[in-house]
Structure 1
Amino acid sequence: MSTLLNLGARALLANTAALQTIGHNISNANTAGYSVQSVVLATVAGQYTGSGYIGSGVEATTVKRSYSEFLTRQAALTQSIASMDQARSDKLSQLQDIFQAGDSGLGAAVNSLLNAFSDLTSAPTDLTARNVVLTRANELASMFQSAAAQIADTQSGVTQELQNSVSAINTLASQIAAVNEQIARVTGNGQTPNDLLDQRDQLINDLNQYVQTSTVPADDGTLSVFVGSQALVLGNTAAQMALVADGYGNPNAQLAVQRGSVSNVLDENALGGGSVAGLLKFQHSDLPEATNLLGRMALTITEEVNAQHHIGLTLDGTLGGDFFTPQALANGLAASANTGTASVSMSVADTSMLVASDYQVVMTGAASGSVVRKSDGQAFAFTAVPVQVDGLQFSVSAGAAAGDSFLVQPYANTASGMGTVFSSPRDLAVASTIEPQIGAANTGSMTVTALQAHAGGFVMPPVGGVALTFAAGPPLTYTLTGSTTPPSGFTGNYLSGQTITIDGWDLTLQGTPATGDTVTVQDARPASGGTGYYTLNAGNASALMGLRDKAVFDGSPLSDGYAGLIAQLGTRTQSAQYATTVSQTIAANTESSRAAISGVNLDEEAAKLIQFQQAYQASSKLIQVSQSIFDSLIQTLR
């Protein structure tokens, strides 16, 4: 009777364990990271008798979890990449919102300013039209400043998110170390601590949302967690992660693992995934490009407008001054490891050659080294200073040592520093500083249809002016007197309606000259003997308006600079959004595969519940039968 009772008792205990495990599964069906568990049943060894081995029933040997190490690891990694792509995509979308298109965008403001000069071409002395120009200029400067401020706010937001993420990483690392310790304590009892393992896997999965990790198991059941090549968790101890300055003093620029007094900087390119990697990539690549594109645009407009404004005449007959506040480019940032005492400064050499990029100057000697364009890594070697690269002139002071390096950010502050210099409409230099004079004794039909001076190469005519003396042909020719480029004495062919370029100004003549006819281009300022023609023309207003067609932004006209900026940022944003869509799809599919093995299927658990409920009832019935037989036997013995 005792054998039959033992069979029932064992079966009852085994089925009870199965029912408890099923209940545990159902309770945790919606618990993140939970792996479905099942009781492993085994036959108890039979007892030998002369009639053979009589079965001794069943026992629960262990509780195992349905778990795929490969799929669990893949799910964490793919989700880590998706998190990185999502973080960068979100920030790029915010950045793109700063640069509005249409009538409210910077591009429209640039064109509004240049177009405002068109009203002055027909009424150069109209103070109302001049005030409109100043208003448009102030609006443009304010929009540049506003865009720069929003970019700075975006950077502050990224910094705050990075700091919050690092705090979360350190918390998760400490929790993983604590769970490691618990697992190590119970591993020696021979059974697997399923719930603790699930808890640790979920913590590692959460950690991968911030930074991609790799793990190495130990004999005591613990897992060491690595970020890149640096250990974040070793057994039951956790290091601290922190944001540190880069080699040029830029704060919160790099991620480092700190263990005790030792700080190991992580290679950003080796992070692999996680939102922190996405934020760092945005901070070091996308945000600088937006800053540089905006800054280059502000600097180019400032330089071009100022240069043209300098060669015009104000309403009072004086040469124009700066239109926008001149931009002083920031000096290069010296690396903390530099051993020399040199500094690097910059100036603009050619606005049409400017590239929206930061640079690194690496010295190999006192006056030799290379300038590296950081946007594409191209290096430009030099053996003497100053050196011109991409329209910028780099100057290195004395004291440079081999191995010294400098980070150059030419456009970091140009947009925020943009502003207008003056407020009086009389100071607008919209009149031409030169005027033509048709010879009084001319007998031909030649007339002047256009005369316009251009910044860059402009040379003021000498006393007496630059004279063109014509001779009848064929072909018709002219000879220069008082010119620099082409030189005085140059003889050229004349064609009616064709523009003649001399000393940085363009002269267009119409008609047929007679032999001996002359045209003289002279200084229009009254103090230089001019006739006061400046009060009647708006040649410099036309030149200022014509700047919109000047090729300055990677070969595109000035008026298209903003469109190019939006296009580049739009391409980055679209690419990031596509990458996010792909990585999220891969992560979802991998998680589905993992859940198919480890997830709780409530329908299956309900079926098992009925199955083991019936087995439990049958086991109880077996005990009841054993009890009944025992009672009958006792009654018979009485």
Structure 2
Amino acid sequence: MSGLLNTGLSALLANQAALTTTGNNVANAGSVSYSRQSVVQQQAIGTPSDGGYLGNGVRVVAIDRAYNGYLTRQANQASAVSAADQARANQFTSIEPLFQTGASGLGSAMNSLLNAFTDVSRAPTDLSARTVVLTQAGALASRFTSTQQQLNESAKATVEQLGTAVNTINQLAESIGKINSQIQRAKGAGQPPNDLLDERDRLIGQLNGQVQTATIEADDGSLSVFVGNQALVLGSVTANVAVGTTANGTTTLNISRGAVTARLDADTLGGGAVAGQLRFLNEDLPDTRNQLGRLAVVLTSTVNTQHSLGVGLNGETGNKLFGTIPMPDSIPASGNTGNAVIGSAVSDVSSLIASAYAVTVQSDGSYQVRRMSDNAVTSFATMPAQLDGLTFNLKSGAGAPGDVYRIAPFDDAAGLVSVGLGSASAVAAASPVQASTGSDNQGSLSVSGVYAYAQDANLTATATLTFNADGTYNITGPGTGNLSNQPYNVGEPLKFNGWSLTLTGLPKPGDTVKVEAASASMTALNAGNAKAMQGLADEKVIDGSPLSDGYAGLLARVGVRAESAKYSAKVSSAIATSAETSRANSSGVNLDEEAAKLLGYQQAYQAAARVIQISQNIFDALLSNLK
């Protein structure tokens, strides 16, 4: 009699446990990282009898957790990569609008400045035309400085986001360490703590949103968490995470355990929002700032060089349209033991490369210069040293072996663009030299333009060109070399003594052209330098391309990086969604399946209750018969 009752009771309790577990699944169908649970039932050991073993019902041996370690790791890794790509793409949303096309773009302001000299060349004495030049120069300077300011704000915001992410990482690591301790204690009781394991998986998932991790489970149930090649959580002990800076100025994620600190860059991290932010801060943003800064240096230097060769309305010479952008001194690494100060200066504006540099002092006192944009290394025995259109020189002090000095010539250059002239009359529209054809010329020669293109000791010395019967010419005068039979091509500039002369028409034998210092009356009337300023747009001074294409190149570079980031974010997001779907299908709750199970367990529960009822009826009948 008792066997029937016990069998029914065991069935009742087992199905009650199944109903409770299934109900818990339904309740947590929408919970993040919840793993479906199921009751594992096992038949009880039977009781021997004359006729064989009689069953003793059923018992619950475990509450299983539907968990697939492989799919969970895949989902976490995909989520980390997606978070990195999305974080990088989000950063571009703050700088991409700064580089516009059309009238609001920096390129339009550059063209407007050079085109303003067209009106000056048409009316050299018109102060209003010269005032427009200063206005356009001011507008261009304002756009440069405004863009630089926005890039600086973007860098500041990214660093702040990194700080927030680091705090989150430390909090999550601490929580994982605490749960590891709870799981160790719970597992000692003999059963896996499913809810704690789910909670730890949830925290691991959140951590991968910040930084990609790898995990190793110990026999005691604790989970060690690694970031890059460094341990973040070992059992219940956690490391400290902070933002750091390397000797060459690169921002890193530092993991400290005791007195040992490891620096991890974006490539080592692999994924997580921090990796995306570091990649933007160390690669995308510096490249954009360097490209913009180089454009500012090349433009202002090129314009200033030509402008200083001209003559103002009142005879002013040597004036620069823009203020000179100073090249910064080196920034020493925090671990340096020497006190060297290394300066930089532009030696060839057309050879400049948009990059920062790291100078390392070698054991023999020589220097190794690393170009940060591509890590190309050049060694120099001494200073000064010339590289990429820059001259590096030891301004003071001395470096110790192993010292690293960072030089960023273009990092803040765009923010230093300013107008150097305060008066419209100082706009140097006139050429310091003038050219005239001989009064007895028989051909159709005429002067199309003459201007100074370089400083020369014989710039204003008189030079005479005399044409021969075969169309060639002879030139005489100081500094010309008194050359004979030089080829003449219509419209092709003739360059001597720092001036450039363009002629049109065909000469007759004996025709002459004289180049000499501009007279006072011609200074007010000629616009040779204004025309030369217009022509600067075609000067090949940026990576072998014209100045007018400089902004287009910058625009294309930023655009390619931004679109690449957006595309990567789109692709990795789709992969992450697919991986999470696979994990959820394996471990998540299917409400249709759970509803079917509820009906089955309900029927089994009712049947067990009926067994107990029958057992009770039999027992009652037996008692009645004994009275």
| TM tier relative to shorter chain | over 0.9
> Does 2:348 match 1:350?
yes
Runs of 4+ in structure 1 displaced over 6 angstroms?
A: none
Distance 1:473 1:191, change over 3 A: same
In structure 2, distance between residues paired with 1:100 and 1:571: 14
The answer to whether the 8 A contact 2:184-2:221 is kept is yes
1:547 corresponds to which of 536, 548, 562: 536
Kindly provide the CA deviation profile for residues 483-538 of structure 1, in whole angstroms up to 9, marking residues without a partner as x.
25xx34455234454431112322123445555544221222xxxxx342111111
Listed as ranges, the matches of 1:535-574 within 5 Å are 535-574=524-563
In structure 2, distance between residues paired with 1:175 and 1:214: 17
Gaps of 5+ in 2: none
Q: Say which is worse superposed, 139-148 or 364-373, in terms of deviation.
A: 364-373
Q: Shift of the alpha carbon at 1:637?
A: 1.0
In structure 2, distance between residues paired with 1:47 and 1:26: 38
The answer to whether the 8 A contact 2:216-2:223 is kept is yes
In structure 2, distance between residues paired with 1:460 and 1:636: 139
Q: Say which is worse superposed, 303-312 or 552-561, in terms of deviation.
A: 552-561
Instruction: Give the secondary-structure state (helix, strand or coil) at the position aligned to 2:327.
Output: coil
Kindly provide the CA deviation profile for residues 216-270 of structure 1, in whole angstroms up to 9, marking residues without a partner as x.
222221111111222211211222211123225x5x9221112344433224421
Give 2:63's aligned residue: 63
The answer to whether the 8 A contact 2:320-2:420 is kept is yes
Gaps of 5+ in 1: 525-529
Listed as ranges, the matches of 1:384-423 within 5 Å are 384-397=382-395, 399-423=398-422
Residue 572 of structure 1 aligns with an amino acid whose one-letter code is R
In structure 1, distance between residues paired with 2:459 and 2:243: 63
Give 1:141's aligned residue: 141
1:603 corresponds to which of 586, 592, 606: 592
Give 2:612's aligned residue: 623
Distance 1:532 1:461, change over 3 A: farther
Give 1:368's aligned residue: 366
Kindly provide the CA deviation profile for residues 303-334 of structure 1, in whole angstroms up to 9, marking residues without a partner as x.
01110110000000121411111011111222
The answer to whether the 8 A contact 1:498-1:508 is kept is yes
The answer to whether the 8 A contact 1:461-1:523 is kept is no
Q: Shift of the alpha carbon at 1:195?
A: 0.4
Residue 479 of structure 1 aligns with an amino acid whose one-letter code is I
In structure 1, distance between residues paired with 2:21 and 2:459: 102
The answer to whether the 8 A contact 1:451-1:505 is kept is no
> Does 2:45 match 1:48?
no
Listed as ranges, the matches of 1:390-469 within 5 Å are 390-397=388-395, 399-439=398-438, 442-445=440-443, 447-455=445-453, 457-459=454-456, 461=458, 464-469=461-466
In structure 2, distance between residues paired with 1:102 and 1:325: 26
Give 2:27's aligned residue: 27
Residue 208 of structure 1 aligns with an amino acid whose one-letter code is N
Kindly provide the CA deviation profile for residues 406-428 of structure 1, in whole angstroms up to 9, marking residues without a partner as x.
21111012111111012211110
Aligned residues: 626
Q: Say which is worse superposed, 211-220 or 6-15, in terms of deviation.
A: 211-220
Distance 1:223 1:382, change over 3 A: same
Give 2:573's aligned residue: 584
The answer to whether the 8 A contact 2:436-2:447 is kept is no
Distance 1:238 1:6, change over 3 A: same
User: Normalised by the size of structure 2, how large is the TM-score?
Assistant: 0.96
In structure 2, distance between residues paired with 1:422 and 1:107: 22
In structure 2, distance between residues paired with 1:374 and 1:155: 18
Give 1:507's aligned residue: 501
Residue 495 of structure 2 aligns with an amino acid whose one-letter code is T
Q: Say which is worse superposed, 498-507 or 62-71, in terms of deviation.
A: 498-507
The answer to whether the 8 A contact 1:469-1:516 is kept is yes
Kindly provide the CA deviation profile for residues 614-636 of structure 1, in whole angstroms up to 9, marking residues without a partner as x.
00000000000000000111111
Q: Shift of the alpha carbon at 1:451?
A: 3.2
> Does 2:308 match 1:284?
no
Distance 1:496 1:233, change over 3 A: closer
Distance 1:448 1:363, change over 3 A: farther
Q: Shift of the alpha carbon at 1:454?
A: 4.5
In structure 2, distance between residues paired with 1:30 and 1:514: 95
Residue 258 of structure 1 aligns with an amino acid whose one-letter code is S
The answer to whether the 8 A contact 2:29-2:588 is kept is yes
In structure 1, distance between residues paired with 2:231 and 2:460: 78
Give 2:150's aligned residue: 150
Instruction: Give the secondary-structure state (helix, strand or coil) at the position aligned to 1:255.
Output: strand
User: Normalised by the size of structure 1, how large is the TM-score?
Assistant: 0.94
In structure 2, distance between residues paired with 1:356 and 1:185: 58
Q: RMSD in angstroms over aligned alpha carbons?
A: 1.9
The answer to whether the 8 A contact 1:314-1:320 is kept is no
The answer to whether the 8 A contact 2:435-2:447 is kept is no
**Fraction of identical pairs, as percent:** 44
Give 1:204's aligned residue: 204
Instruction: Give the secondary-structure state (helix, strand or coil) at the position aligned to 1:520.
Output: strand
Distance 1:367 1:557, change over 3 A: farther
Q: Shift of the alpha carbon at 1:190?
A: 0.8
Kindly provide the CA deviation profile for residues 408-453 of structure 1, in whole angstroms up to 9, marking residues without a partner as x.
111012111111012211110011111114345x343354322333
The answer to whether the 8 A contact 2:365-2:401 is kept is no
In structure 1, distance between residues paired with 2:505 and 2:530: 26
Distance 1:370 1:247, change over 3 A: closer
Instruction: Give the secondary-structure state (helix, strand or coil) at the position aligned to 1:493.
Output: coil
Distance 1:372 1:488, change over 3 A: farther
Give 1:164's aligned residue: 164
Instruction: Give the secondary-structure state (helix, strand or coil) at the position aligned to 1:164.
Output: helix
The answer to whether the 8 A contact 1:88-1:281 is kept is yes
